[in-house]
Structure 1
Amino acid sequence: MRIDRIYRYPVKGLTAEALEEVAVEPGCALPWDRAFALAQGDAPFDPAEPKWLPKTNFMCLRQNATIARLKASFDARHGKLTITAPDGSRIEEIALDEPGRARIGAWLTAYLGAEARGAPRFHHVPGHVFGDQRTPVISLINQASIADLEQHVGVRRHRRRFRANIYFSGAPAWSEFGWVGQELIIGSARLRVLKRITRCPATEVNPDTGLRDANPIAELKATFGHADLGVLAEVVEGGRMALGDSIELLPA
Structure 2
Amino acid sequence: MTAHLVDIVRHPIKSIGFEDIQSAPLIQGRVLPFDRVWAVSHEAAKFDSPLTEWARKLNFVRGVAAPKLMAVTAQMQADGQITLSHPEVPALTLDPDRAEDQARLIDWLKPLWPENRPAPRAVERVEGVALADMAEPYISLLSLSSLAALAQAASTEISRHRFRGNLCIEGWAPWAERDLVGKRLRIGGAVLEVAMPITRCRATCTNPDTGMEDLEMLELLERLNGDWHFGCYATVIESGTITLGDPVEVL
TM-score, normalized by the shorter chain, greater than 0.5 = yes
1:146 Cα offset (Å):
1.1
Q: Secondary structure at the match of 2:212?
A: coil
Per-residue CA deviation, residues 19-42 of structure 1 (Å, 9 max, x unaligned), is 110001111111111111110012
Preserved CA contact (<8 Å) 1:13 1:60: yes
- Aligned: 1:247 with 2:248: yes
Please identify runs of 4+ aligned residues in structure 1 that moved more than 6 A.
Answer: none
Equivalent-residue separation in structure 2 for 1:146 and 1:71 (angstroms): 21
Structure 1 counterpart of 2:16, one-letter code:
L
Structure 1 counterpart of 2:206, one-letter code:
V
- Cα 1:64–1:118 shift into 2, 3 Å: closer
- Cα 1:201–1:118 shift into 2, 3 Å: closer
1:106 Cα offset (Å):
3.3
Preserved CA contact (<8 Å) 1:79 1:95: no
Structure 1 counterpart of 2:219, one-letter code:
A
Q: Which residue of 1 aligns with 2:6?
A: 4
Equivalent-residue separation in structure 2 for 1:110 and 1:146 (angstroms): 31
Preserved CA contact (<8 Å) 2:11 2:34: yes
Preserved CA contact (<8 Å) 1:189 1:237: yes
Preserved CA contact (<8 Å) 1:5 1:166: yes
- Cα 1:88–1:237 shift into 2, 3 Å: same
- Aligned: 1:151 with 2:114: no
Q: Which residue of 2 aligns with 1:24?
A: 26
- Judge which range, 101-110 or 222-231, deviates more: 101-110
Preserved CA contact (<8 Å) 1:109 1:120: no
Q: Which residue of 1 aligns with 2:55?
A: 52
Per-residue CA deviation, residues 201-240 of structure 1 (Å, 9 max, x unaligned), is 1100110111111011101111221211111101111110
**Count of paired positions:** 248
Preserved CA contact (<8 Å) 2:66 2:112: no
Q: Identity rate of aligned residues, in percent? A: 31
TM-score where L is the length of structure 2: 0.91
Structure 2 counterpart of 1:12, one-letter code:
K
Q: Secondary structure at the match of 1:43?
A: coil
- Cα 1:157–1:80 shift into 2, 3 Å: same
TM-score where L is the length of structure 1: 0.91
Preserved CA contact (<8 Å) 1:138 1:233: yes
Unaligned runs of 5+ in 2: none
Q: Secondary structure at the match of 2:75?
A: strand
Q: Secondary structure at the match of 2:147?
A: helix
1:88 Cα offset (Å):
4.6
1:94 Cα offset (Å):
1.8
Q: Structure 2 matches for 1:1-252, cutoff 5 A?
A: 1-45=3-47, 46-47=49-50, 49-53=52-56, 55-75=57-77, 77-109=78-110, 111-112=112-113, 114-115=115-116, 117-118=118-119, 120-250=121-251
